[in-house]
Structure 1
Amino acid sequence: MLLNFAKMQALGNDFMIVDGISQPVAFSPTAIQRLADRKRGVGFDQLLLVEPPYSPEVDFHYRIFNADGSEVGQCGNGARCFARFVRHLGLTWKNRIRVSTIAGEMNMQIEEEGLVTVDIAVPTFEPEQIPMQFVGPGPQHKMLLDGVETSFTALSVGNPHAVLDVRDVALAAVAEIGQAICESPVFPQQTNVGFLQIIDRATVRLRVYERGVGETEACGSGACAAVVAGRQRGLLDEQVQVQLPGGTLTVRWPGEGQPVQLTGPAVLVYEGQIEL
């Protein structure tokens, strides 16, 4: 079977995107892992699948698979690529697109100059909704890593995140600490781990260790979680520029009970076919 697909990227966070409306598609975790291999497959951080809407209130269903084959509920950079992809294929001519995911519904707005704004989710700090095993007051928590107490903010923006403050993000032990927190039994579904350096109230630097992937050049939901964590402690303004290794995203969060908005580019790299 020949599968049509596109390769897209958003600040270096790269995706294989598949139209599951115009062609029959089924992916096993093993098949996704094989496709994700950067030497023997297409190579990507996540695979995104466009499906027909599950309800009349939305335009599409949006599915996200990590490189290890696990399905997740949110990917902000992927959402921007999703919006550009369905317009590119002519699956819709709308500028404002509404989709469902396993984590809920979200809006995507195609802007000028290749930018897309997505409403990520209303953040939650409730442990059972992240999910995480800690009980007691939050959203700041502590964990012992190799005998060293590490503090972080835990929250969900449609997927789980732990956000740590660092003095210099360039010197942060992202791989080691990120993997340790990500795979801790405290997070039964694992978690994404953000390393946040606050420059001023409107500017931060960020690196993210993504569950099922490792460190990526950019993480849209991670940028949103980091800004929410900083805002929750009164350290950041409503709109913040988030500088990641792959480039800069704009995150806006009006406050409690409101969705986080993420704005940034999305680029088509190439289209192709692969034998499954």
Structure 2
Amino acid sequence: MAIEFTKYHGLGNDFILIDNRSSSVPTLTPEQAIKLCDRHFGIGADGVIFALPGENGADYTMRIFNSDGSEPEMCGNGIRCLAGFLADLEGESRNQDRYRVHTLAGVMTPQLMPDGQVKVDMGLPRLLALEIPTTLTPAEEKVINQPLEVAEQIWNVTCVSMGNPHCITFVKDVAAIPLEIIGPLFEHHPVFPQRTNTEFIQVVSRDYLKMRVWERGAGITLACGTGACAALVAGVLTNKCDRTATVELPGGALQIEWSEIDQRIYMTGSAERVFTGNI
């Protein structure tokens, strides 16, 4: 089987994009995706994204397999890359600058901006323990500044779902965190029945945050869009940042806004095509 693909990255969070519009079922299995994501024996990526036909009135559907074969509900950097990929596929026939994309976390709306950036309406953050999910607090309560023991240390964590689970903790220096050791312990902690993404945040100022992330199913990545959104929400809930801020990740910066008007999260950042090929 020969497969054409395009490699994209959003701030270094990289993906293999596949045109899957002829079928509502991904053309690859999770096991095949694992092989393609291998950086030594495959193409190399944090995940494989499939552009499928739209569902529930959406223009397209996005499915994604992580580099470990698991399937997340959503991916913020990935959906920006998908928007760029869809524009490539439509070519001169493209008559819109925004798409309604069906995901396992609901319908997201990325918009191609004149400066080449992609702005995404990420929807409403979900804050109740049941929605995340986590057992850190009773199901109908929010998880804000709750103590969690990891690696014989107490961390104050705030949990947010952006359609996928996030555990955010604020630290003095993100560079000092042994992410490769601490990250897996957070991801697989028993209080997170569906595992979790974990963001370590350093507050530089009320409108500037530094972030490192351990992604559920992918490990250390250079950026995480949903994580940046969750981090800003956690910062507002703990009164550490404003409702609009720059979030600096190892791969670059995202602009995140939690609108006071409609309470939705808006993320703006880059999506870069790297190369096309077939395998």
Distance in 2 (alpha carbons) for counterparts of 1:3 and 1:228: 39
Look up the match of 2:10: 10
Q: Compute the RMSD of aligned alpha carbons.
A: 1.6
The question of 1:83 aligning with 2:90 is answered no
Distance in 2 (alpha carbons) for counterparts of 1:270 and 1:54: 29
**CA shift at 1:138, angstroms?**
3.4
Distance in 1 (alpha carbons) for counterparts of 2:192 and 2:236: 23
The question of 1:150 aligning with 2:155 is answered yes
**Are the counterparts in 2 of residues 114 and 267 from structure 1 also a CA contact under 8 Å?**
no
**CA shift at 1:126, angstroms?**
1.0
Give the match's secondary structure for 1:89. helix
Give the match's secondary structure for 1:96. coil
Look up the match of 1:266: 271
Provide Cα deviations, 1:41-86, integer angstroms capped at 9, x if missing partner: 111011111000112x210011121111111111111111100100
Deviates further, 12-21 or 27-36 = 27-36
Look up the match of 1:69: 69
Look up the match of 1:187: 192
**CA shift at 1:226, angstroms?**
0.4
**CA shift at 1:27, angstroms?**
2.0
- Which of 133, 136, 141 pairs up with 1:134? 136
Q: Percent identity?
A: 39
The question of 1:175 aligning with 2:187 is answered no
Look up the match of 1:231: 236
- Which of 85, 95, 98 pairs up with 2:97? 95
Provide Cα deviations, 1:127-183, integer angstroms capped at 9, x if missing partner: 111111223353222222233212111110111000010101111122222211111
**Are the counterparts in 2 of residues 87 and 93 from structure 1 also a CA contact under 8 Å?**
no
**Are the counterparts in 2 of residues 169 and 206 from structure 1 also a CA contact under 8 Å?**
yes
5+ long unaligned stretches in structure 2: none
Distance in 2 (alpha carbons) for counterparts of 1:249 and 1:20: 28
Deviates further, 80-89 or 137-146 = 137-146
The question of 1:52 aligning with 2:60 is answered no
**CA shift at 1:255, angstroms?**
4.3
Give the match's secondary structure for 1:32. helix
Distance in 2 (alpha carbons) for counterparts of 1:206 and 1:146: 20
Q: 2:142 is aligned with what amino acid?
A: G
The question of 1:215 aligning with 2:220 is answered yes
Distance in 2 (alpha carbons) for counterparts of 1:256 and 1:164: 27
**CA shift at 1:88, angstroms?**
0.8
Look up the match of 2:125: 123
Q: 2:9 is aligned with what amino acid?
A: Q
Distance in 2 (alpha carbons) for counterparts of 1:143 and 1:256: 33
The two structures have a TM-score, normalised by structure 2, of 0.93
Deviates further, 129-138 or 119-128 = 129-138
Give the match's secondary structure for 2:254. strand
**CA shift at 1:108, angstroms?**
0.8
CA separation of 1:257 and 1:173: change in aligned 2, threshold 3 A: farther
Provide Cα deviations, 1:13-63, integer angstroms capped at 9, x if missing partner: 1000001014785222211111111111111011111000112x2100111
5+ long unaligned stretches in structure 1: none
Distance in 1 (alpha carbons) for counterparts of 2:47 and 2:234: 25
Q: 2:2 is aligned with what amino acid?
A: L
Distance in 2 (alpha carbons) for counterparts of 1:255 and 1:176: 37
Distance in 2 (alpha carbons) for counterparts of 1:174 and 1:214: 9
